[in-house]
Amino acid sequence: MESPQRQMNNKDGFLEIFGQGACIFPNYRRVFVFLGLLNAALFIIAVVLGVKCAKVKEGSFHVTHSAASQLISEIDFLRSNHSDVIEAEEEAKRALERAIKTHAQLKGQTEHQKVINDEYQKKIEALREEKTNLQSNISALEGTCGRCLPGWILLNLSCYFFSNTESPTVKNWPDSRKDCNRRGSDLIVIDNQEEQKFVSNTIDNVRSWYDVWQSGFWIGLTDTHTEGTWVWINNVTEVEQRYWMAGAPDDMGHKGEVCGIAVYSDDNPWKTRYDASCLERQRQWICEMLLN
């Protein structure tokens, strides 16, 4: 046990400490009060800031939501327009295909029409040429009072056409007669001395060959029905034999030389005929047209 003295010392020390604490406690109270007020102020500030932040966030949310709504609307509008544009593009493609098809059809029709027009043009040109020829013939007839056509030679009451004055073409006897018929005439019938002399002299003037045998012209004389009996195409039998060349007619080689050819002879102008094959021999020809 502690001695009374020591206990007394401890008590005095406690009182001393307690007395000092009594002096310190008032300072702690002020600190506590100050901290409490500071906490209250901070709390109020925090509440105020929280409210303002909430308002700012709410405003920001509204702003963001409005902008987003506008953007969505614009996107929807663009999508709608894009669909319309795609549809319009498809329709334009279809219209283009229809136009191309129509163009191809029109092109085909145009080409077909051009062919038809060309044929009509050719026919028109042919008709014009025929019209010109007819007008020329009419003018010639009117100018000669119904006499010979251009290219024909007048003698008495007949017109004569020597084929080589128009073309160097040669034909056999039947084809030569067809050409005369096409011209409204027939192969020449020589039935008098004046006509014989006229034919001989004209052949001399128009012939392109000086060889007697090559420069001959078909005439309308044959012995087709009876060998040796020469008959003109007007059914008149040839009686005068003096116009045949020496040794003719002879039907050399029995080749069917049954058609007559007229030539010009330097040796004897009256000996101007010989016989030849109607089909095998090709010669010029003389047409005769009687005037009305």
pLDDT in tens, 178-211: 999 999 999 999 989 999 999 999 999 888 777 7
On whether the pTM is more than 0.75, the answer is no
pLDDT tens-place string over residues 10-21: 444 444 444 444
pLDDT tier for residue 227 given thresholds of 50, 70 and 90: confident
pLDDT tier for residue 9 given thresholds of 50, 70 and 90: very low
Residue 159 pLDDT exceeds 90: yes
More confident residue, 193 or 132: 193
- What average pLDDT does the structure give for the chain? 80
Task: Provide the pLDDT for residue 82.
Answer: 76
pLDDT tens-place string over residues 271-281: 899 999 999 89
pLDDT tens-place string over residues 106-131: 998 998 999 998 988 888 988 988 88
Residue 161 pLDDT exceeds 80: yes
Segment among 48-57, 77-86, 130-139, 237-246 with least mean pLDDT: 48-57
CA 199 to the chain's CA centroid: 56
Task: Provide the pLDDT for residue 15.
Answer: 41
